[in-house]
Structure 1
C-alpha cells in the first residue's frame, strides 16, 4: 500500500518520513555498507531538502517496508552532482518530464513471511507501480536511475527492464554502477502489475495512510488516574503557572502544558484547562482593544 509524500503533504507525515529515513539507514549503511550520512539512526542527504516525492510502502501493520525518492532533473540531482562520472563527459539530462528515481530500498528483515504481499518481490513491484503511476499522472515521460547489476537483473525479471542506459558502467565503491532509463508507459506499468499479480489501486489516501500507521505506531493516551508520574507532571505544570512572576513566564508554562497535551497524549488537568481558557480570553480581549492605525 503506497502513500506518496511530497512538499504538499509532508507536514502530515513527519513520523512516516522518519521511519523511511531509518529504513534507508538500515539498508544503505547497515546492510550495503554505503558511505552515507546517518544521524540519530536516519539517513538523510541534501537532496531530501529539495521537496522530492517519496513513494512509501506500508504493510498491513502500518510499518514502512519500502520506499523510493523521485526528483526532477531540472535542478540538482544525484546523476548530475554525485554520479556524473557515469555520463562519460556528456551533460546530464535536464527536463521537467524526466525524473530521477533514487534511494530505492525494501526492508528485507521484515519481509520474510510466506504470504505474497509480505515478499520482497511483491513490495518491490508495488513501489515501482506506485512510482511509475504517480509520475505518469504528473506528465513525466521517463525516469532515470543509478542501479547496480543486481538491481538490473531484478528489474529484467520483473518485466521492468530499462530500455536504455546512459554512459557506461563504472565501479563505485564495492559495486558497479550504471545509469538506466525507464519509460513511464502503460505497457511498463501493466507488465509489472501482471508479474506481481497487482490488480488493485495501490495508493492510500492521506487519511487512510495516517490511520494505518497510527494503528501500531501512535502512543496511546495515558490514563492519568493510574499513572503517578503523569499526575506529578501535571502538578509541575500547574505549579509553574501559579508561581510565575510575570505574564511571560505564565505564558511559557501554559504553552508547555498545551504542548504536552497535544504531542504526548497527556490530558491537561481541569485547573490547567481553566488557566489556558483564561489566557485565550485575555489574548482575544487584548486584540480587540489594541489601537489601529
Structure 2
C-alpha cells in the first residue's frame, strides 16, 4: 500500500523516511553501484532538502519496499541542475504543472518475481499508480523523469511508456541517461492498473500507515535470534562478498534459491562439502 509523505506530514514519518533512505542506499549504492552520497547507510542528496513528496510503498509486514521522489520543476531539480547536458542546450522545463520523478527503486531482495502482490512488478506498478494519481489530484499534467534504457523498457512493457523524450541519451557515469515525458492522465493510470491487475485504492491514510509500520517494527525479524551462522549461511555470505559484478551477485542469489527449493537440510550440508556436486545438480 502507498503513503505519500510531503512537507505537511513528514514530521510523522521520520522513521519511514529513514528506512526509505536506507533502501535507496542499498539499491543505488550497493546493487547498482551509482556514485551517490551515502552516509551512515542512507542515501540522500541536495534535492531531498527541498521538501519533495515521497511516494512510499509499505508491504503487509510494515516494511518499506518501494519509493519515488516527486519534485516541482519551478525550482532546482535533477534535470536542470545535474543532467542538463541531456537537453542539448535547450532550457529545462519549468512549470507548476510539470513535476520531476526521480529516485525510483524497489527492494529486489525482499520482493519476488512474477506478477503477484509481493513481486517487483506489482510494487513497481503500485508506486507508479500512486505517483500519477497523487500528481493528477494536485493539478499536475506531466511528469519528467531521468531514466536509463533498462527502465525505459520496463515502462514500455508495463503500460507506462513515455509519450516523448527531451534532448538525447547521454552517458552519465556507469549508465546512459535519458529524459522521458509521461502525462498524468486517466488513460495512463488505467493502463498501469490493467497491466498489474490492481483495481483497488492503493493509498493508505496517515494513521493506517503509521500503524502498519509500527506493527512491522514490533514483530521480531527473521534473523534476530542471535544464533551463530550455519556453515551454509557463511558460505553464502562469503560468495556475496566475493562477487564483484551485479551478474555475479545474481548468480549467487540463483544459487541460494535453487539450494533452498531443491534440497533437504541434510543434503544442503553435504553439498557444502562437495560444491562440485551441487554445480552438477544445478
TM over 0.5: yes
Paired residues for 1:49-60 under 5 Å:
49-60=49-60
- In structure 1, the residue matched to 2:254 is none
Q: Distance in 2 between matches of 1:197 and 1:216?
A: 26
CA contact (8 A) 2:113 2:121 kept: no
Give the superposition deviation at 1:218: 4.6
- In structure 2, the residue matched to 1:70 is 70
Give the superposition deviation at 1:112: 2.1
Q: Distance in 2 between matches of 1:203 and 1:197?
A: 16
Q: Distance in 2 between matches of 1:35 and 1:69?
A: 18
Paired residues for 1:138-217 under 5 Å:
138-217=138-217
Give the superposition deviation at 1:40: 0.9
Q: Distance in 2 between matches of 1:75 and 1:154?
A: 29
Aligned residues: 220
Q: Distance in 1 between matches of 2:72 and 2:9?
A: 18
TM-score, normalised by the number of residues in structure 2:
0.76
Q: Which deviations, in whole Å up to 9, do the C-alpha atoms of 1:271-292 show, x marking residues without a partner?
A: xxxxxxxxxxxxxxxxxxxxxx
Paired residues for 1:1-293 under 5 Å:
1-112=1-112, 116-218=116-218
Q: Which deviations, in whole Å up to 9, do the C-alpha atoms of 1:231-268 show, x marking residues without a partner?
A: xxxxxxxxxxxxxxxxxxxxxxxxxxxxxxxxxxxxxx
Q: Which deviations, in whole Å up to 9, do the C-alpha atoms of 1:97-150 show, x marking residues without a partner?
A: 000000000000000266711110000000000000000000000000000000
Q: Distance in 1 between matches of 2:145 and 2:96?
A: 15
Q: Distance in 1 between matches of 2:69 and 2:113?
A: 26
CA contact (8 A) 2:72 2:100 kept: yes
Q: Which deviations, in whole Å up to 9, do the C-alpha atoms of 1:199-238 show, x marking residues without a partner?
A: 0000000000000000021589xxxxxxxxxxxxxxxxxx
Give the superposition deviation at 1:13: 0.4
Q: Distance in 1 between matches of 2:219 and 2:14?
A: 15
Q: Distance in 2 between matches of 1:89 and 1:38?
A: 31
Q: Distance in 1 between matches of 2:192 and 2:109?
A: 23
Corresponding residue SS for 1:118: coil
Structure 1 stretches of 4+ moved >6 Å: none
CA contact (8 A) 2:115 2:121 kept: no
Gaps of 5+ in 1: 221-293
Give the superposition deviation at 1:175: 1.3
TM-score, normalised by the number of residues in structure 1:
0.74
Gaps of 5+ in 2: 221-282
Give the superposition deviation at 1:59: 0.6
Q: Distance in 2 between matches of 1:131 and 1:9?
A: 17
CA RMSD of aligned residues (A): 1.3
Q: Distance in 2 between matches of 1:7 and 1:168?
A: 33
Give the superposition deviation at 1:174: 1.6
